[in-house]
Structure 1
Amino acid sequence: MLNPDSVKPIYVQIAEWLETEILQERFKADDKMYSQYQLADQFNINPATAAKGLTILADAGILYKKRGLGMFVTEQAADQIRHRRINETLTALVSEIVEEAAHLNVGEQELIHMIQQEGKRRKGAVR
């Protein structure tokens, strides 16, 4: 879950964890999100840190506020998260993998095979 030794600030880790909760459909459109106090209790962190993570998602249009009621998941939240993670995170990771493969003289087909094997391994582990 949260890694206090990570270079990523805790509030960023909170935001990413909440995004994953949305992607895994633990929260759907218009569902009420955890409050800053629930997150603070759950992760044993300062409520202001938790609030900062929620604010990141609100600023990105993933959550919206209902005055006096809390934060809720927007209709397009999962699509937005998926789109951003593919275009930013996944693209950067693929670029790093391809660069490392080139340094090691690993060809495209071998790299594709490695990715396919990992996919098969993960599918077997899920069952």
Structure 2
Amino acid sequence: MSKGLEGGKPIFQQIRDRIEDQIVNDQLQEEDQIPSTNQLVQFYKINHLTAAKGINLLVDDGIIYKKRGVGMFVAAGAKSKVTEKRKNAFFHDYILPMVEESRNLQLSEEEVNTLIQHAKGRNNDDI
């Protein structure tokens, strides 16, 4: 876990996102135990209810589950659930607005692809 939280999102969402990141990046595997709420509170210096709210979002999404008296663990299929959720968000937050703006600018598909390749650093020609 890297220390420090940003100011852009509510802290409980950042806690959820950090754990999801660890799952997507294979730092946490299925059936691995995640840090306890108390560990998150101490590590990030946050309120217990804030940490619990972030954890509960993951439980509600079926990403983690609780073993009573033992702790919280990464659920089976968690990586694919998180990946699918993030692909959906990427589509709605970035792809749809990009397509709409490309229509407004009357850009061809080839021009859009060229811009994407340029942004990825694969095509260093000036636009």
State TM-score, norm by structure 2: 0.83
The equivalent of 2:90 in structure 1 is 90
Name the stretch that deviates more: 108-117 or 60-69.
108-117
Structure 2's unaligned 5+ residue stretches are: 123-127
Over the residues paired in the alignment, what is the CA RMSD in angstroms? Answer: 1.7
In 2, Cα distance between equivalents of 1:94 and 1:2: 27
Cα distance 1:76–1:109, how it changes in 2: closer, same or farther (>3 A)?
same
Distance 2:32 2:80 in 1: 15
Q: Which runs of 4+ in 1 moved over 4 A?
A: none
Counterpart position of 1:18: 19
Structure 1: runs of 5 or more not aligned: 122-127
1:48/1:112 CA distance change after superposition, 3 Å: same
SS in 2 for 1:71: strand
> 6, 15, 18: which one pairs with 1:3?
6
Once residues 39 and 103 of structure 1 are traced to their aligned partners in structure 2, the CA distance between those partners, rounded to angstroms, is: 46
Superposed, which structure 2 residues align to 1:10-89 within 5 Å?
A: 10-87=11-88, 89=89
Find the aligned partners of 2:22 and 2:121 in 1 and give their Cα distance.
24
| Higher percent of residues as helix | 1
Out of 110-119 and 25-34, give the one that drifted further.
110-119
Fraction of identical pairs, as percent: 37
Higher CA-based Rg: 2
Report Cα offsets for 1:46-78 as digits up to 9, x if no partner.
Answer: 121011101100111100101111100011000
Secondary structure (helix, strand or coil) at the match of 2:120 reads helix
